[in-house]
Structure 1
């Protein structure tokens, strides 16, 4: 039996071993959707909790539109031009419109990569498209601290000072913040490094509510909501795509309300009740662009944990064409390998500000506590693999056969979309 996983740009097909009983875990089909341009036009004209975009832009002298960085497959090519044209028609000059890449603490997107990210040469030729740099203190406006947890709040000056503030993004499960998009594009997207490093510290990361698909009492979500409220009026265009990257939903409006509308839509397609756990789970890191580094691959290790039996085997396939990730992440992984999981965690607990990118290593502790992790990543060098802290799978078919034999259980869960699908061990709700 052939199995297809999201992997790199082209996907990955492999043979399932004989005797294995596969349980394919996929999203149910999305309902038929209108043409992408019609979905975007409808969202902008029929907003949630705000006036239409054209009315919001009228009388404004400047605008800043946030877009996610290259790690997210957001369909920017579908909506940036109609949004910008709407702003210009309403009277905002092109010279006063900035598209700002919400990099958080990731590297900037430049040159051909920026062109791919934006997806429309007209946008690059018409308005300024710039990157956020979290480590540049002077680029930020300090807004004080949050009331609940004392997070210092610094936000990119270009966004704070724009008369019309708009975030755009993809709404999908996120392994710490519940769901991506909306408020998350603002913080950490265009936040100062101390803001990001505070709510990525161990006191947030080790909170059991900081998990995928959960917004209830999630400390990251709560801080993000307070931060966007500190900015005054902020709006958002939220998108949902299917496994072929087709647009299936778009909502526009006040940033919190419009984001929650997208979350409500996508929940029924991403949170999948299974009714059991498995000794062997096979998943992916969601393909390009998410699976280009090991750093992003950790997300695919965390989201299926609810269906992995304690002591089970999690096998994940990831392209990792760009290697391990940042130098900061490599340093954290080296410490993990040298110290071991528990000693590594103890070094994190006293910190007010997490070291850059070490929170992803901290999240890797979750699957390491649960069971055995095997990574199929033939493009990852031996030097990079040594700091992953997991086992290498050289052949997916053989790794599955060996795991099933080791556990004495032929039933194997397979999640082709990786972290875009969140399986739950509980039985599905009655229709």
Structure 2
């Protein structure tokens, strides 16, 4: 492997890596999946031959309205490929185009507006012909109260536009998620279009510290189980799920009943995404998966958590993230300031008694996981001044020098390199 052949996702491109001569690199990538030769045809086939439901053209008959959920800008979902075909199918089946809406599932993230909304939707025709709205989790009047889940008593309040639609469809990207197991499907509803109390309950320490609330695990995962219960409380819901390769090209699309169609996409991608390795490493180099996931430091933490299974205790995790949009929300900044002031143990102690997490402090809580295991070092060109201090991790300006220091400290020349960051899940398999 030549030095020139190693590059990791960074911003809208890649960051070339030059390794010390003594380094022995292991490149960890997803198993290659065949690209779909005709994305439009694959989407049409999914809509006409769905999983555990009638075709979309039949689902849309005799419906007065429809609402389609899409993920926010932090997910590279190919909305440009499927929104118009879905909408045109609904209109052909009799739903008035004025009664069809697209709702951006922002959770507690900021709204996507103006040029960013155009980039997200990816099709001017959609923006010109249907209502496109952002979800606002703090808008009390915009939600319907469905009560509480029976298992863990989570308050369930969801966006009125989606709840009251006659035909409800969630769309998204199925990829590893460091808390909910897998993204997409039911997760686009909760937390995607949930009220802040629902989201903050999900992100409280009783969920976050559960050892089963980890990437690629759905069995016994308390977040996943709550999401399934919320879907069942809501009633009839469908989903379109996409899977992308490292080039962001479509390799799988499923449509149908939301739980069954999501599981079908998970089954397709699971084995390719999880990479078994026979050893752990004292030095792990990873990314935040590039744009759009590395727009903020807030999202960068996902890349810190995903490779922990192969990091030796006391090892060094080096992550590159552009952070082109800066740090993250004001609430996240406050949580990070508390972490820096109190230290990891005292910060965690402030969380464990809460039934409702403070907004965005859950991401700081997740940062405790790599900090407990080893040393975290961040390469970024998007943070300056106080922002760099508030990360709570070591800042580096030279990845090669950081790798060299880690090898010298550990005496272990083996280096794991994960170009696509949290989209790949390395597993230690002794």
Q: Does 1:166 align with 2:180?
A: no
> How far apart are 1:405 and its partner, in Å?
1.1
Q: For residue 83 of structure 2, give the secondary structure of its aligned residue in structure 1.
A: helix
Corresponding position of 2:240 = 237
Corresponding position of 1:424 = 427
Mapped partners of 2:35, 2:420: distance in 1:
20
Match 1:264 to one of 252, 256, 267 = 267
Q: For residue 362 of structure 1, give the secondary structure of its aligned residue in structure 2.
A: helix
Match 2:317 to one of 309, 314, 317 = 314
Q: Does 1:94 align with 2:97?
A: yes
Match 2:397 to one of 394, 403, 409 = 394
Inter-CA distance 131–32: structure 2 relative to 1 (3 Å threshold): closer
Q: Does 1:211 align with 2:214?
A: yes
C-alpha contact 2:35 2:249 (8 A) present in aligned 1: no
> How far apart are 1:32 and its partner, in Å?
4.5
Match 1:135 to one of 138, 141, 153 = 138
Mapped partners of 1:12, 1:31: distance in 2:
25
Mapped partners of 2:32, 2:371: distance in 1:
33
Mapped partners of 2:181, 2:144: distance in 1:
27
Match 1:51 to one of 54, 63, 71 = 54
Q: Does 1:39 align with 2:42?
A: yes
Deviations 1:266-304, CA, capped at 9 Å, x for gaps? 101111101110000000000000001000000000000
Mapped partners of 2:79, 2:326: distance in 1:
26
Corresponding position of 2:346 = 343
Deviations 1:213-271, CA, capped at 9 Å, x for gaps? 00010000000000011111000000000011100000000000000000000101111
Deviates further, 27-36 or 182-191: 27-36
Mapped partners of 1:402, 1:269: distance in 2:
32
Q: For residue 59 of structure 1, give the secondary structure of its aligned residue in structure 2.
A: coil
Q: Does 1:377 align with 2:380?
A: yes
Q: For residue 13 of structure 2, give the secondary structure of its aligned residue in structure 1.
A: coil
Q: Does 1:22 align with 2:25?
A: yes
Match 2:293 to one of 281, 290, 293 = 290
Mapped partners of 2:79, 2:28: distance in 1:
28
Q: For residue 283 of structure 1, give the secondary structure of its aligned residue in structure 2.
A: strand
> How far apart are 1:33 and its partner, in Å?
2.2
> How far apart are 1:382 and its partner, in Å?
2.0
Deviations 1:28-73, CA, capped at 9 Å, x for gaps? 1103423110110111011001000110001001000000000000
Q: For residue 41 of structure 2, give the secondary structure of its aligned residue in structure 1.
A: helix
Moved over 6 A (4+): none
C-alpha contact 2:46 2:253 (8 A) present in aligned 1: yes
1:327-338 mapped onto 2 (5 Å cutoff): 327-338=330-341
C-alpha contact 2:159 2:193 (8 A) present in aligned 1: yes
> How far apart are 1:4 and its partner, in Å?
0.6
Q: For residue 95 of structure 2, give the secondary structure of its aligned residue in structure 1.
A: coil
Output the TM-score relative to the length of structure 1.
0.98
Q: Does 1:105 align with 2:108?
A: yes
Mapped partners of 2:419, 2:307: distance in 1:
12
> How far apart are 1:14 and its partner, in Å?
2.2
Match 1:63 to one of 61, 66, 78 = 66
Q: Does 1:246 align with 2:249?
A: yes
Mapped partners of 1:379, 1:196: distance in 2:
28
Mapped partners of 2:377, 2:22: distance in 1:
21
Mapped partners of 1:267, 1:379: distance in 2:
32
Mapped partners of 1:244, 1:330: distance in 2:
32
Mapped partners of 1:29, 1:350: distance in 2:
44
Equivalent residue pairs, number: 427
Match 2:283 to one of 280, 283, 294 = 280
